[in-house]
Amino acid sequence: MKAFLDYILQFGNLNKHQTDFIMSKAKELELRKEEYFSEAGKIPRYVGFVLEGVVRFCYYNNKGEEITNYFVDENNFISDQQKFETQVAASDYIQAVTDCKLLVFSKKDWDEIGNTIVGWDSITGLILKNCLLKTIERRSPLVSEDATTRYLSFIEQFPTIINRVPLSYVASYLGITQQSLSRIRKNIR
């Protein structure tokens, strides 16, 4: 819980009464490996904060292939924020890659925090902006770099994730086949 409070306090000041109120709305949720936090076609139920574990954002392309488009590890928020806020069915999946422990907030509780704490919208806006900038920073090189450089960038950007997720997910994220990833890994050793 301390990790969560430390995280949000980077983006604004809250007093003890406010942090206690926020924590009173939080619930712990455990996900087993491969369970879904949010599923395509369903309305997202929670905003989450990863306390332990790794999750991935993924979808199925028009060929029915599963594509991993992002990983999130400890001390980061997870949510399909736009769909959560508007209560519209998600188009992506958010899946536990490892066993996970999350701190979650329902839509009702998230809204209640926003309606009660002055400045909460500003804090969550900065958190969302930070998450989007991280995503862009991590995804942009995938468009312009060769496969080996993309893999080396992945290791640099996700040092705590590389040994915790299946190589098939890493290959999908990098936009290459698992065989190509194996060849790249062999060549850089």
What residue spans define the domains of the chain?
A: 2-139, 141-189
pLDDT band for 27, please (50, 70, 90 cuts): very high
Backbone angles phi, psi at 58, to 5 degrees: -150, 165
- Kindly state the tokens that stand for 20: 């206690």
pLDDT recorded at residue 17: 96
pLDDT at 136 over 80: no
pLDDT recorded at residue 128: 87
pLDDT at 28 over 90: yes
How many whole angstroms separate alpha carbon 37 and alpha carbon 93? Answer: 8
pLDDT band for 131, please (50, 70, 90 cuts): confident
- In percent, the amount of the chain with pLDDT more than 70 equals 96
Contact assessment for residue 84 and residue 54, using Cβ atoms and an 8 Å cutoff: no
Full-model pTM = 0.90
pLDDT at 142 over 70: no
Q: What is the pLDDT of residues 57-95, one digit of tens each?
A: 999 999 998 999 999 999 999 998 888 888 999 999 999
pLDDT at 14 over 70: yes
Q: What is the pLDDT of residues 103-114, one digit of tens each?
A: 999 999 999 999
Per-position DSSP letters for 15-47, written without gaps between them:
-HHHHHHHHHH-EEEEE-TT-EEE-BTS---EE
Contact assessment for residue 28 and residue 103, using Cβ atoms and an 8 Å cutoff: yes
Residues 6+ apart with CB under 8 A from 33: 96, 97, 98, 99
Architecture of the domain whose range is 2-139 = Sandwich (2.60)
